[in-house]
Amino acid sequence: MSTQPSASPRAGTSSTTVDDSLAAALSSRSRPSRPSGVTTSLTFGWRALLKIKHVPEQLFDVTITPVIFTLMFTYLFGGALAGSASDYLQFLLPGILVQTVIITTVYTGFTLNTDISKGVFDRFRSLPLWRPSPLVGALLGDAVRYAIASTVVVVLGLILGFRPDGGVVGVLGAVLILLVFASGIGWIFTTLGLVLRTPNAVMGVGMMIIMPVTFASNIFVDPSTMPSWLQSFVDVNPISHLVTAERGLMSGTASAGDIGWVLVATVALTAVFAPLTMYLYRRR
C-alpha cells in the first residue's frame, strides 16, 4: 500500500524567517531626521555644478563671452573714446566685469524653466525638504558661475594691462559685492522662469531687460556726454551705482555710500522678488 509523501515544512519556514528578519531590520532602525534647509540647498547647489560637469558647454557664456566683450570694446572703442586702448581699459574693465556677470544672471531663470518643462521640479516638490531649497541651491550654483566669469575678466584685464590701484583687496572686494548684487538680480529671473512658458522665452525677455540697463549706464562712457533725458535714467539706474562702486573699490577710492547703495538695492530686489518667486512656485 503506497503512502502519500507529507508536505515539506521548509518553504513555509524559510518565508517566515525572511519576514521576521525584515521586520527586525526595519524596527531596529530609527527614522532618519529631516534634512535642514542649509543641507538641501547645498545639495541642489552641487547638483547645479554637476550639470556643468556633464554639459561643459554651459561654461561658454562665462568663459568665452567675457573674453569677446573685453577685447572687442577695448580695441574697437578705446582709441576713439580715450585716446588709447590701454587708457580706456582702466575705465572699462570694472564696467565690463559688471556687464558680464549681470548678463549671466539670465541663465538662472533659463535653467529653472528648463527643469520645470522637463518635470524635474514636480519631483522636487514631492520631496520632504525645505521648499525654497531647489531655488536657493540653483542661485548658489550660479554664484560659482559668476565667480568664474569674474576671474576670467580680471585675469584677462591684467594680461592686457589693467592695473587696479586698490590692489588685491580692492579687486576681491569688487568681485564680492558684484556677486552679492547678482544674487539679488537672480531672483528677478527665477520669477520670469516660473511665469514664462519656455526657456527661450525666458532668455528673450531677460535680454530685453538686461541690454537697456547695461548699455544705458556708465559702463562704457561718462554720462556727462549723454543727453539730459538719458542722464536722468543713468543716474537712477542700479547698474550705474554698481559700476561706480566697482570702480571705486578697484581704484581704492570707494566710499561707504557707494557700497551701501549697492547693498540696499540688493536687499530691496531680494525682498520683492524672492517672496514673489516662492508664491509662484507654491501655486505652479
Q: Which residue has the higher pLDDT, 4 or 203?
A: 203
Q: What percent of the chain has pLDDT over 70?
A: 87
The pLDDT of residue 79: 85
Three-state DSSP at 261 gives: helix
Across the range 54-58, mean pLDDT stands at: 70
Across the range 129-135, mean pLDDT stands at: 83
pLDDT confidence bin for 169, thresholds 50/70/90: very high
The pLDDT of residue 14: 57
- Please name the residue that has the C-alpha cell 542661485: 139
The pLDDT of residue 270: 93
Q: Which residues contact 131 (CB under 8 A, 6 or more apart)?
A: 125, 278, 281, 282
Whether the pLDDT of residue 134 is over 60: the answer is yes
Q: What is the DSSP string of 175-216?
A: HHHHHHHHHHHHHHHHHHHHHSSSHHHHHHHHHHHHHHHHHS
Contact between 189 and 108 under an 8 Å Cβ cutoff? The reply is yes
Across the range 229-234, mean pLDDT stands at: 93
Query: What stretches of 83-162 show up as alpha helix (H) in DSSP?
Result: 85-104, 106-117, 120-125, 133-160
The pLDDT of residue 247: 95
- What is the rounded CA–CA span in Å between residue 190 and residue 142? 12
The pLDDT of residue 16: 66
Q: Give the pLDDT confidence of 6-44 residue by residue, as tens digits.
A: 545 454 555 566 666 666 665 655 666 777 878 888 888
270: its cell numbers:
531680494
Whether the pLDDT of residue 5 is over 60: the answer is no
The model's pTM is 0.82
Amino acid at 247: R
The Cα-based distances of 189 to 64, 139, 145, 206 in angstroms read 22, 11, 15, 7
Q: Give the pLDDT confidence of 235-279 residue by residue, as tens digits.
A: 999 999 999 999 999 999 998 998 999 999 999 999 999 999 989
Contact between 169 and 252 under an 8 Å Cβ cutoff? The reply is no
The pLDDT of residue 266: 94
119 Rama sector, left if φ>0, alpha if ψ -120 to 50, beta otherwise: left
The pLDDT of residue 135: 85
- What is the rounded CA–CA span in Å between residue 235 and residue 242? 11
Q: Which residue has the higher pLDDT, 121 or 177?
A: 177
